[in-house]
């Protein structure tokens, strides 16, 4: 039967007669099933299937168990309706852009780019899959073994996390120093340092590798001198600083953030580069502070069935690197979510957490000291 449109359904998602404490993910699944049946989560309110007074005095239902069941119901309900701010982006639904970055016109740097938040440094047209930026741009880049980006630098610290393959980073004025990261590890390259990366899958010819980039503040870039010239020779239409232009010659909103004077070049030693790396299994976090706020990366290692809770009011983005988790919606590898209230691990998993307090506008440079 159809539920009248002005009615709210209160399904019983807890059994009030058993000591079994329903998992928040089970509560979420039950609520989602009812929502699909009547046309939306806004007409659902989580409830017990009866009052707990019907088993008053029972030896198998103590007050602690009752309150634990109710707490689980709250967590499960929060995960599917925790706030209008929660945004999920499934990797399978994201658009991968073929030549979103200027150097992708060049054969050695051919790769696709997926914009999660903010802007792509040379492409003002792409739409973000996670909506409003939290003060940084965030992308996936995908390439075959041996391919990578061209030598460049930024006015802000740039952070990279290989997602499913090892990546080799070179840095220094001419890219003369090298360090290799495993999947899941992170490197934070300071402002003004020339750097590149490439998929280091080795003998696995044609094997795809993906890398996450996080660039706080202005989405601007300074390429090595030859990059703009070679990209134009390969058919790129761009400004002298390398920003891609539409065929009609218009200037899309956001180009002002990208256009900037060249970032002064700073030399780096091989030893300095090693200090920029944080291993995913080290137990450390990667945190930077500046006058505009702080940015922190940490790794959540979860065993199957483990639950982690978050404050959904915080500016937090989570990226599934291994395994699968549930936040009211099932997330698999490379899926992302903004402002979740909790995760429940469906299997052993690793999740990258990005927290920040930076302004949501990106008209600043992030140079922490």
190-245 pLDDT, tens per residue? 999 999 999 998 766 667 999 999 999 999 999 998 999 999 999 998 888 899 88
> What is the H or E stretch that residue 13 is in?
strand 12-14
pLDDT at res. 252: 67
pLDDT at res. 180: 96
pLDDT at res. 80: 72
**Homologous superfamily in CATH for domain 287-356:** Clp1, DNA binding domain (2.60.120.1030)
Beta strands 47-48 and 12-14, pairing class: parallel
Task: Find out whether 238 and 231 touch, Cβ atoms under 8 Å.
Answer: yes
pLDDT at res. 358: 95
Same fold yes or no, 97-281 and 287-356: yes
User: Which ranges of the chain does DSSP label H, i.e. alpha helix?
Assistant: 24-38, 63-81, 225-233, 255-258, 270-274
pLDDT at res. 11: 93
165 CB burial (10 A radius; 0-12, 13-18, 19+):
buried
pLDDT at res. 326: 80
In the chain, what are the domain boundaries? 12-81, 97-281, 287-356
N-terminal to C-terminal alpha carbon distance within the chain? 63
Mean pLDDT by 10 residues, the chain (369 residues): 84 93 88 79 88 83 92 85 74 92 94 96 90 95 95 97 96 94 96 96 79 96 94 91 80 77 93 94 94 96 87 90 85 93 86 96 90
The token pair at 263 is: 């970032």
pTM greater than the 0.85 cutoff: no
For domain 97-281, give the CATH number: 2.60.120.10
Percent of all residues in the chain with a pLDDT value above 70, rounded to a whole number: 95
Task: Find out whether 183 and 321 touch, Cβ atoms under 8 Å.
Answer: yes
Task: Report d(CA 319, CA 335) in Å as an integer.
Answer: 6
DSSP class per residue in 276-340:
TEE-TTSS--EEEEETTEEEEEEEEEE-TT-EEE--TTSEEEEEEEES-EESSSEE-TT-EEES-
**What are the residues facing 198 on neighbouring strands?**
148, 168
Q: Which residues of 318-336 are buried (b: 16+ CB within 10 A; e: fewer)?
A: bbbbbbbbbbbbebebbbb
Name the 3-class secondary structure at 202. coil
187 CB burial (10 A radius; 0-12, 13-18, 19+):
buried
pLDDT at res. 126: 87
pLDDT at res. 86: 80
């Amino acid at each position: 039967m159809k539920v009248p449109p002005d009615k709210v359904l209160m399904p019983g998602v807890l059994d009030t007669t058993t000591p079994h404490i329903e998992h928040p993910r089970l509560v979420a699944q039950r609520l989602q099933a009812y929502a699909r049946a009547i046309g939306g989560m806004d007409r659902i309110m989580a409830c017990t299937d009866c009052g707990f007074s019907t088993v008053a005095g029972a030896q198998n239902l103590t007050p602690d168990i009752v309150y634990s069941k109710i707490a689980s119901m709250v967590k499960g309900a929060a995960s599917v309706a925790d706030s209008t701010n929660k945004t999920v982006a499934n990797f399978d639904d994201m658009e991968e852009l073929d030549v979103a970055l200027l150097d992708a016109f060049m054969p050695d740097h051919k790769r696709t780019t997926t914009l999660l938040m903010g802007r792509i440094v040379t492409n003002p047209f792409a739409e973000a899959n996670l909506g409003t930026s939290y003060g940084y741009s965030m992308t996936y880049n995908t390439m075959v073994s041996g391919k990578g980006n061209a030598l460049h630098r930024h006015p802000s610290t740039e952070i990279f996390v290989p997602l499913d393959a090892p990546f080799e980073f070179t840095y220094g004025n001419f890219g003369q120093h090298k360090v290799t990261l495993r999947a899941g590890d992170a490197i934070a390259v300071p402002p003004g340092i020339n750097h590149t990366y490439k998929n280091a899958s080795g003998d696995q010819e044609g094997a795809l590798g993906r890398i996450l980039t996080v660039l706080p503040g202005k989405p601007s870039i300074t390429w090595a001198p030859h990059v703009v010239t070679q990209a134009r020779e390969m058919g790129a239409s761009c400004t002298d600083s390398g920003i891609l232009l539409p065929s009609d010659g218009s200037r899309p909103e956001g180009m002002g953030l990208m256009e900037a004077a060249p970032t002064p070049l700073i030399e780096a030693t091989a030893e300095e580069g090693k200090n920029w790396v944080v291993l995913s299994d080290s137990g450390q976090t990667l945190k930077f502070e500046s006058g505009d706020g702080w940015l922190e990366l940490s790794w959540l290692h979860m065993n199957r069935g483990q639950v982690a809770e978050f404050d959904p009011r915080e500016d937090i983005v989570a990226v599934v690197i291994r395994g699968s988790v549930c936040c009211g919606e099932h997330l698999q590898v490379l899926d992302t979510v903004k402002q979740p209230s909790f995760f429940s691990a469906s299997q052993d998993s690793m999740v990258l957490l990005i927290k920040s307090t930076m302004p949501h506008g990106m008209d600043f440079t992030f140079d922490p000291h």
